[in-house]
Amino acid sequence: MKIGKYLALAAALAVAAVTLADPAWAQVSGRLRVSDAGGRAAPDLGDAVIYLQGRGARATPRTARMALDARQFRPRVLLVPVGATVEFPNQDAFNHNVFSLSEDNTFDLGLYPQGESRSQRFRRPGLVRIFCNIHPRMSAFVVVRDNAWYTQPGADGSFTVPDVPPGTYTLVVWHERAPQITREITVLAGAGGLEGLELNMDASGYRWVQHPNKHGQQYGTTRERY
């Protein structure tokens, strides 16, 4: 009986050794730069989203949070996997009405007061534009991904997409104020993976455009009461 246990343990250790000696995963890393008018470095690099397109295992659905605070959504950009639930707690001393008219992820949470929170589950991948039906300048984005290969850069623009299987992918970089970037990349197995990517976006032509309300109409011209 003991011999059988020892043999099973030896076999497990051998499998583990092979796995460690021949890792299947790699990473994609680099730095993103976003330029505003006059070549100035953009202050909102962390609002960019970087992901790889391709079939792969999905990240585990989770609950995330986007607060309504001082007539703003915080954070402004939220990156979640398919199936995630996002809570929208109202921290302002007045009502909000969170909604989206984005295809495949349309919803309307209705009017609710301070101290109350409502939530929405995102079942399909895509870019979801979030607004408030009362405050016309409130806007945010939920980016829903159908695999686990995504990230947002740090304040200095550095980024890493971990645990990427070897293969060829389309890398996508999104930022609300700049044209989207797509690039074909090949990820090789082994330590380091694909490193040193330099990605540049030009946001100098960005112009803010007023979005319609949840009925597809323009907001009223009267001043907001709260």
pLDDT by 10s per residue, the chain, length 226: 444 444 444 444 433 333 333 356 899 999 999 999 999 999 999 999 999 999 899 999 999 999 999 999 999 999 999 999 999 999 999 999 999 999 999 999 999 999 999 999 999 999 999 999 999 999 999 999 999 999 999 999 999 999 999 999 999 999 999 999 999 999 988 767 899 999 999 999 999 999 999 999 999 765 555 5
Tell whether 75 and 117 lie within a shared domain.
yes
Query: Which of 146, 173, 194 is the C-terminal boundary of a domain?
Result: 146
Provide the whole-model pTM.
0.86
Query: Which strands form 194-202's sheet, in the order they lie side by side?
Result: 158-164, 26-35, 194-202
| Count of the separate structural domains present in the chain | 2
Q: What DSSP element (H or E) covers 37?
A: none
How far is residue 69 from each of residues 77, 95, 117, measured CA to CA in Å? 14, 11, 12
Tell whether 65 and 126 lie within a shared domain.
yes
Query: What's the CATH code of the domain at 111?
Result: 2.60.40.420
The answer to whether position 99 is within a domain reads: yes
Query: Which of 122, 146, 170 is the C-terminal boundary of a domain?
Result: 146
The answer to whether position 186 is within a domain reads: yes
Domain with 174 in it: 25-57+149-204
Cβ–Cβ under 8 Å, residues 114 and 153 = no
